[in-house]
Structure 1
């Protein structure tokens, strides 16, 4: 029989504190990267003892996976909010989303980028747990974009010569690459090039 997992010591975990730790971690990791973010800084941000961190998370790696989940949850809500706007045709909804994201990065000075993309560049080669979470969330994002493109195909605004999921994967991959170039160049040019190629050439070129 396997030995039972030792009970955690310390105060009983509090759901509100747990959420605050995740939010503080997301802020710090987005700004500084996963490796450079220390647990001490996170617990200091919300004024809890460092030892209490392990009442909520088994390891920093497990914590990082939950930070991925929180960021994806927020980002997916924003994406679905734009793509659910029935007052606009599907391709205009998609462009409005990327216009909004580009404007947001401009306000922040073209730094930080996408948390999932940052984890991909920094962490996934060394953490199978985080890799699985990142890959799952990217697939979900791509699926939402694919549903929008499929609607455009049904409406006749977009040809069906390429499957919607293939187009969606390409668009998401291109966006994540554009964000890396944006950070390196500290400017909007990679994002503008992305939008021009996707909406003026890739999707426009497949319109009926």
Structure 2
């Protein structure tokens, strides 16, 4: 049976309220009651909206990934900029989100990716599929930059896109461990150098 408009609205509310909680505490440390309380939804009603906490986690990740995809598409649609500048603005926005105070802006994959992959194959697959969507968009962005001359020609743009995305995931995790803002600033410079052909992308991605 399809969800009623009220059910759909409450599901979205629960996802929205859970995002900052999970971004701060992690998935396992965020209880169902924490989410219900934040959303001002009566206790005991959680399973009316989600079949299990794992299913809820899958939907939360899909929600976050969909927003990330929309954000990236927004940057890639800025046709008044060169292909390289569109990508650099996207990564600059990632730095702003990761270093800013709002937990709602944090990347959930960075926060809970390793945690939930250990115990939920379904949540892991949601993240894999989401990353592939983002990599595909980055691939298109790199190809556009190569076409307009702002990005150095590469043999396999999709491979560069995948390496860069994982490079940024790794640096975002490292930033949370070391709390060193300069790390992400260096990641921006390295990314620009890779796109301009100054650095080989595989060596740079490993070295950070």
TM-score where L is the length of structure 2: 0.87
| Partner residue of 2:74 out of 67, 78, 81 | 81
Matched, 1:39 2:65: no
C-alpha offsets along residues 93-124 of structure 1, whole Å, 9 cap, x if unaligned?
Answer: 100111122123333299x9520122221111
Indicate the structure with greater helix content: 2
Contact 1:113 1:183 in 2 (8 A): no
The structure-2 alpha-carbon separation of the partners of 1:160 and 1:43, relative to structure 1 and needing over 3 Å to count, comes to same
**Alpha-carbon distance in 2 for matches of 1:13, 1:82:** 33
Contact 1:149 1:168 in 2 (8 A): yes
List runs of 5+ in structure 1 lacking aligned partners: 1-6
- The answer for the alignment partner of 1:155 in structure 2 is 148
- The answer for the alignment partner of 2:204 in structure 1 is none
- The answer for the alignment partner of 2:97 in structure 1 is 104
| Partner residue of 1:115 out of 86, 101, 108 | 108
- The answer for the alignment partner of 1:124 in structure 2 is 117
Range 141-150 or range 155-164, more displaced = 155-164
- The answer for the alignment partner of 2:51 in structure 1 is 58
Following superposition, the deviation at residue 56 of structure 1 comes to 1.0
- The answer for the alignment partner of 1:205 in structure 2 is 197
Q: If you compute each CA radius of gyration, which structure gives the higher value, 1 or 2?
A: 1
TM-score where L is the length of structure 1: 0.87
- The answer for the alignment partner of 2:185 in structure 1 is 192
List runs of 5+ in structure 2 lacking aligned partners: 200-208
Contact 1:61 1:127 in 2 (8 A): yes
Range 34-43 or range 12-21, more displaced = 12-21
Aligned-pair RMSD on alpha carbons? 2.4
